């Protein structure tokens, strides 16, 4: 069950599209669910919404997780309307601040969420995905093929006891993603780092990795 709405974000001077994927039995139970916030929400479900024809196809992953008995609420936060604006927004943590101060409190009132809240993203979204874990509400993060400035990551006040899942292909972006993934592992030594010899840096490669990561995080 997929719902969506738009919210004005004054710090970013734009409207953010938020998608909510609820468990199939959500309206038949009183259960409270874990929540995963996905950045780049425009690339989760529909090719017509994505920047290109490559999507995560999160619906298939959710079906597999449901069959494993792992149900959750999935929140997609769409990026800016074009890749250049996306890159600019992801160079600072204003988006993460808005999610934690405005979007999450609003959703928590509207939906039955438990205390296990996670963030997920890839590439240049890394800084904001991690920044959400400065907040008390968030309990972990999934970082796929990280990109960004190592110094910006190290400035974050992250909780080391959170659950962190890092993935990188050894050949992605000429090894730069793996280098950053290893740095994050040093910074957060209790995090799980998964690597392989892949050189593909796009949503197709990340589909299976997201299933593995969510299986690791969702209780």
| Domain range annotation of the chain | 2-217
pLDDT-derived band at 48, boundaries 50, 70, 90: low
DSSP string for residues in 89-156:
HTTSSHHHHHIIIIIHHHHHHHS-EEEEEEEEEEETTHHHHHHGGGSTTEEEEEEEEE-S-HHHHHTS
Q: Which residues pair with 36 in a beta bridge?
A: 74, 118
Q: For the chain, what's the residue count?
A: 219
Token code pair at residue 22: 């609820």
CATH class of the domain at 2-217: alpha beta
What does the pLDDT look like over 165-183, one tens digit per residue? Answer: 999 999 999 999 999 999 9
pLDDT digits (tens, 9 = 90+) for 57-107: 888 998 899 888 889 999 999 988 888 888 999 999 999 999 999 999 999
């Amino acid at each position: 069950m997929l719902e969506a709405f738009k919210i004005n974000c004054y710090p970013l001077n734009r409207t953010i599209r938020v998608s909510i994927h609820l468990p199939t039995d959500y309206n038949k139970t009183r259960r409270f669910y874990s929540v995963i916030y996905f950045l780049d929400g425009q690339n989760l479900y529909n090719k017509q919404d994505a920047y290109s024809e490559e999507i995560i196809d999160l619906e298939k992953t959710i079906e597999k997780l449901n069959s494993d008995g792992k149900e959750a609420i999935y929140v997609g936060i769409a990026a800016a309307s074009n890749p250049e604006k996306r890159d600019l927004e992801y160079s600072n943590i204003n988006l993460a601040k808005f999610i934690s101060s405005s979007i999450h409190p609003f959703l928590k009132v509207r939906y039955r969420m438990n205390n296990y809240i996670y963030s997920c993203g890839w590439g240049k979204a890394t800084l904001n995905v991690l920044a959400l874990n400065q907040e008390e509400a968030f309990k972990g993060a999934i970082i796929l093929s990280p990109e960004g400035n190592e110094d910006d990551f190290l400035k974050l006040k992250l909780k080391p006891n959170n659950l962190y899942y890092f993935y990188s292909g050894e050949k992605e972006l000429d090894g730069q993603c793996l280098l950053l993934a290893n740095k994050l592992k040093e910074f957060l030594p209790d995090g799980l780092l998964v690597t392989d010899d892949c050189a593909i840096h796009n949503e197709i490669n990340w589909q299976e990795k997201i299933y593995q990561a969510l299986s690791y995080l969702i209780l």
